[in-house]
Structure 1
Amino acid sequence: MGYQILRSGEGVGGRASQCAMAIMAKAPRVGKVKTRLAPPLTLEQSAALNICFLKDTADGLAKVSGAEGMVCYTPAGDEAAFDDLLPAKFKLIAQRGDKFGERLLAAAEDILACGYGSVCLIDSDSPTVPKAAFEQAVAELAREGDRIVLGPSQDGGYYLIGLKLAHAAVFENITWSTASVCEETIERAREAGIEVVRLPLWYDVDDGATLAILRGELIDGKMPEFAGIAGYEAPHTKEFLAGLREIVAV
């Protein structure tokens, strides 16, 4: 299946009332995605699990009212890697920029330039984020006035950042890939006079320890200790992990 490809500035009427829910994702190629999960998984298993994450996140977003789902992908030109992985109405838009903060800012700029009223940039490593968290993000961004919405991750980063305007300040002077990313982002927003709304705390799956948390949640029915609400059922991921019980047990 080929998906519509968006390009910055190619606005279409009727999008102003919609929040673009954009999964930031690499093309799911073996050896290019989720490599920190190998071990305990093989590179082939890690790539297959990444596809499950992508499917579950996209399926969950497709159920959120007032939102339109898409994948903001890299590398440009590798659109075919997403064929048949996403809901039919999903769209694709290429990432641009070099450093991580630059890519996030460019994604916000390009998606908002397509005519959407707001945008949420969502990681591809958190397949069980509760639907309620996504719904809260859309609702907060629909209110009058400017603000950013942050979904903090247990590791100190964030699984979602939502904006109505592409504020460069919240992507600059951030120590990326550290435990201070979320708090630094909040501080940059406060310095710029931008209201910040926090979503429920959740987690990214990027190593053996967090894979064990995911296994506990989906296979053993154990809510993460830090979670205040139940997560999304992530059926693709659950089915995959069910066949890897011994590998992911810690």
Structure 2
Amino acid sequence: MHHLILFTRYPEPNRTKTRLIPKLGADGAANLHREMTEHTLSQVLPLNVSMEVRFSGGSLELMQAWLGSGLVYQPQGEGDLGERMASAFHNSFKVGACKTIIIGSDCPGIDAQILTTAFAHLNDVDLVLGPALDGGYYLIGLRRLIPELFQNINWGTSKVLQQTINVAHSLGLCYQCLAPLADVDRPEDLEVWHNLQQN
């Protein structure tokens, strides 16, 4: 089973895309997050893989009212981003996935082709990473849970990708990086989203 997990947050003003609030206002930042999550879903739903949405904020009822009742939803749970991703991978492999990929909702360049390529790479490597231009990653794919990849990482900083690759080297993992893409986190990133809207 190929399993895709989308990490997102319920689009509540003042709790979503806070770095964009000075530029867009609280409602505008939440609305941008809502639009980007919906865009990401529209790109990945055509894939023939099992899928779930892992959310923070809101509730199951609010998520279903927003994105529909036809999706599988799970709360992200407690802990930092690494602990929440490790938990998601653990649950995925426990129910029988042979390949699992986690993506976020703030990288509008993700599409079905990128995900198809990432799943294909997992035939040959232990780890697939999608480098973000800000030094993080927009995608991580595994064939089994490797807890060390989610420990002692400075989440939310420009060091995330390099620290993760360093761990992969130290464990002797085979890994593959995809094409770099831009996240939309800061005011200067908004052009990425606006350009996509015009195409």
Q: TM-score, normalised by structure 1?
A: 0.74
Counterpart residue identity of residue 184, structure 1: Q
Distance 1:60 1:217, change over 3 A: closer
Describe how 1:1-250 pairs up with structure 2 within 5 A: 18-65=1-48, 67-75=49-57, 78-86=59-67, 89-141=70-122, 143=123, 147-219=126-198, 221=199
Bigger fraction of residues in helix: 2
Q: Deviation digits for residues 56-106 of structure 1, max 9, x if unmatched? A: 1112111123x222111124x711221244366421122223122111111
Say which SS state the counterpart of residue 40 (structure 1) adopts: helix
- For the 8 Å contact 1:158–1:181, the answer to whether it is kept is yes
- For the 8 Å contact 1:101–1:172, the answer to whether it is kept is yes
**How far is 1:134 from its partner?**
0.9
Counterpart residue identity of residue 118, structure 1: K
| Number of equivalences | 199
Work out the percentage of aligned pairs sharing the same amino acid: 27
Counterpart residue identity of residue 58, structure 1: L
Counterpart residue identity of residue 117, structure 2: Q
Counterpart residue identity of residue 91, structure 1: V
* Structure (1 or 2) with the larger CA radius of gyration: 1
**How far is 1:164 from its partner?**
1.1
Q: Partners of 2:87 and 2:119 in 1: how far apart?
A: 20
Say which SS state the counterpart of residue 22 (structure 2) adopts: coil
- For the 8 Å contact 1:151–1:158, the answer to whether it is kept is yes
- For the 8 Å contact 1:62–1:68, the answer to whether it is kept is no
Deviates more, 1:44-53 or 1:209-218: 209-218
Say which SS state the counterpart of residue 41 (structure 1) adopts: helix
Q: Partners of 1:187 and 1:35 in 2: how far apart?
A: 30
Counterpart residue identity of residue 33, structure 1: T
Report the aligned-residue RMSD.
1.8
**How far is 1:40 from its partner?**
1.4
Say which SS state the counterpart of residue 42 (structure 1) adopts: helix
Q: Partners of 2:130 and 2:39 in 1: how far apart?
A: 18
Counterpart residue identity of residue 118, structure 2: A
